[in-house]
Copies of this chain bind each other. A is one copy, B any other.
Amino acid sequence: MVTVDGMALGRDYATQECSIARALEVVGERWTLLVIRDALYGVRRYNDFLVHLGIPRAVLAARLQTLTAEGILDKRRYQESPPRDEYVITDRGIALWPTLRSLGLWGREHFGEAPLRTFQHSVCGTELGTYGECPTCATAVPVEDVVMVPGPGLDPDPADPISRILLKPKRLLEPIEQPAAADPV
């Protein structure tokens, strides 16, 4: 019975007086930032996260709950019969875009061979800078004005349906289109 309410010593970064440590307590767990990335891409449903991330179900359920509790995702009912919920990213989650943008750019520059996806300003088509700004327009670009454009490094025939949908250019935050009916090729 070593239970301590909230956060126990040794399990978090409690001794760190630092906003970075604070942030990492919220989004620093395994899978969490990838869930937020997917939410920015427009993924909203349990099953879509599941197949796109290849995450264990138990971990996904735990992360969705934590992120909802932290105000990063918003769990909302999108149909009543049968009752179905979706997880929509909030402003607090959207505010992580500069972090994810710069992290992705770092990964691409230092570890990527071919650019997998580029992110462009929908107004002018310029690729975004390090933190998600537009070098051409010299302004911060609202996340809803960012277009994700798949690059040549992507697998042209991925296994899961969400990756297949993400092969087409797409605005961030825009919900991914659900396949209307089973219509096998």
Contacts and interface: CB of A to CB of B under 8 A. Distances in A.
B95 A109 contact: yes
A98 interface: yes
A92 to B, nearest CB: 5
A16 B112 contact: no
A92 B104 contact: no
Interface stretch (A22-30, A80-88, A177-185): A22-30
A8 interface: no
Interface residues of A, number: 50
Contacts of A133: 131
A19 interface: yes
Given A28-B30, A71-B110, A131-B131, 11 more contacts: A13-B34, A17-B116, A18-B37, A19-B104, A23-B103, A24-B107, A28-B33, A98-B98, A98-B102, A99-B106, A130-B140
A169 interface: no
A149 interface: no
Query: Which 7 residue pairs across A and B have the least CB separation, nearest first?
Result: A23-B107, A131-B131, A19-B107, A19-B108, A22-B107, A19-B104, A98-B102
Contact of A24 (B13, B98, B103, B131): B103
A117 interface: yes
Nearest to A105: B19
24 contacts: A15-B54, A17-B153, A17-B163, A18-B34, A18-B116, A19-B104, A19-B106, A19-B115, A20-B103, A22-B107, A22-B108, A23-B104, A23-B106, A23-B107, A24-B103, A24-B107, A28-B33, A71-B110, A96-B106, A98-B98, A98-B106, A99-B99, A99-B103, A99-B106
